[in-house]
Amino acid sequence: MTWYLRPAGEVLLAIAAAPLAAPLFAGWIAQCRAWMQNRSAPPLIQPYRMLHKLFQKEVALATDASFLFRVTPYVLFATMVLAAAIIPTVATGLPFAQVADAIALIGLFATARVFMALAAMDVGTAFGTLGARREMMIGFLAEPALLMVLFNTFLLSGSTALPRLVETYRAHPSLIEPSLLFAAVAFLMVLLAENARIPIDNPATHLELTMIHEAMLLEYSARHLALMEWAASLKLFNYACIGFALFLPWGIATRATSNGLGLVIAVASLAGKLIVAGAALALIETLSAKLRIFRAPEYLATAFILAVLGLLVHLLLGGQA
């Protein structure tokens, strides 16, 4: 009778935990940024308040919007939730862990991006198509760099499955080597570009002509907008967790330590890492300015070359594939 309760509970927990936690991370970054810029900070739960407010409102839907426009917020949210369930955030033995490896995860993010771009083109406004074009451009520039980062980590562990990667690192801490430093910097640059952060895009901008991500949301309102915003904060959370799995795997519960204490440690270490990462992101955003859109290729090419350098360092130092 109860044999299915435990797996079902695990699945539900894996699906529900990340979406509930992700807005907190976004709120923490906003708070840090406000402190660093000498503004009075919004409360930590501000993103939840905004979601709550948006869910209460009535949707104002453009007359010409098709089903694609209405389905996209749900699809976007679902892909991000599923991605969070696949990434080893706290443990390597999560129920969805084997559904997709890191490359398929990139593919999942690409699906979300394509849906968002198509929805932005659906109503046929000038800003929507502009945002869609720019977003797809950033996408095709970032993907090669991201893949080269994964190549680096694959060479060390022989696997593109993130849980396996974490377990290999935990089993052989000596595997961590200089090539990963290059890869980590490249990954950070890709993370900033993919999540519409400064220096590529400014999440707090009100100037339509410079928008990328925000321009695609202009026609959305109420619950649709809430889901889109929620998905965006989840995406940032997901990227941060991929970064932890690739470069800072300490604390994640492996098969050996997957008991109560291990999970508590894992959750605590994840929280600690997120706090530090959020502050670091806020610092980067405070210290740098937004680039012109046509400087974006240079920026992402730099990320790509860093990742390739990491690869060459690994191969030249005689590492075994």
Q: If 0-12 CB within 10 Å is exposed, 13-18 middle and 19+ buried, where does residue 314 land?
A: buried
Report the site for another protein in 231-270 (rule: CB under 8 A): none
Nearer to another protein, 29 or 112 (CB): 112
Q: Is 196 in the site for another protein (CB under 8 A)?
A: no
Residue 261 to residues 5, 191, 245, 248, 267: CA-CA distances in angstroms?
22, 31, 20, 20, 10
Rule CB under 8 A: choose which of 31, 79, 179, 269 binds another protein: 79
- Judged by CB under 8 A, the chain residues 126 through 145 that form the site for another protein are 126-130, 132-134, 136-137, 139-145
Q: Is residue 317 within the footprint of another protein (CB under 8 A)? A: no
Closest CA to 310 of 189, 195, 205, 192: 189
The nearer residue to another protein, 28 or 77, going by C-beta atoms, is: 77
Nearest distance, CB of residue 242 and another protein, angstroms: 15
Selected from 30, 148, 190, 216, the binder of another protein by CB under 8 A is: 148
Cα–Cα distance measured from residue 252 to residue 244, given in angstroms and rounded to the nearest whole number: 9
Omega prior to 42 cis, within 30 of 0:
no
Q: Does residue 90 sit in helix, strand or coil?
A: coil
**Candidate ranges 1-9, 160-168, 169-177, 271-279; the one touching another protein (CB under 8 A):** 160-168
Write out the binding residues for another protein, residues 13-32 only, by CB under 8 A: 15
Does position 114 interact with another protein (CB under 8 A)? The reply is yes
Query: Using the rule CB under 8 A, is 74 a contact of another protein?
Result: yes
Q: Does 48 bind another protein (CB under 8 A)?
A: no
Rounded to an integer, what distance in angstroms lies between the CA atom of residue 105 and that of residue 80? 10
Are the C-beta atoms of residues 17 and 99 closer than 8 Å to each other?
no
Q: Does 219 bind another protein (CB under 8 A)?
A: yes
Give min distance, CB of 147 to another protein, in A. Answer: 4
* 183 vs 165: CA distance, rounded Å: 15
Among 171, 280, 312, 317, binds another protein (CB under 8 A): 312
Q: Which stretch binds another protein (CB under 8 A): 91-99, 180-188, 233-241, 264-272?
A: 91-99
Q: Which of 18, 24, 87, 154 binds another protein (CB under 8 A)?
A: 154
User: To 10 degrees, what angle do helices 102-122 and 126-157 make?
Assistant: 180
Residues 49-68 that bind another protein (CB under 8 A): 55-56, 58-64, 66, 68
Check residue 259 and report its DSSP letter.
S
The token duo for 319 is 């590492």
317, HSE (Cβ side, Cα atoms, 13 Å): 13
Q: Which stretch binds another protein (CB under 8 A): 1-9, 32-40, 218-226, 260-268?
A: 218-226
> From its phi and psi, is residue 259 left (phi > 0), alpha (psi between -120 and 50) or beta?
beta
Number of residues counted as binding another protein (CB under 8 A): 83
Alpha-carbon gap, residue 224 to 110, rounded angstroms:
20
Stretch that binds another protein, among 30-38, 148-156, 243-251, 273-281 (CB under 8 A): 148-156
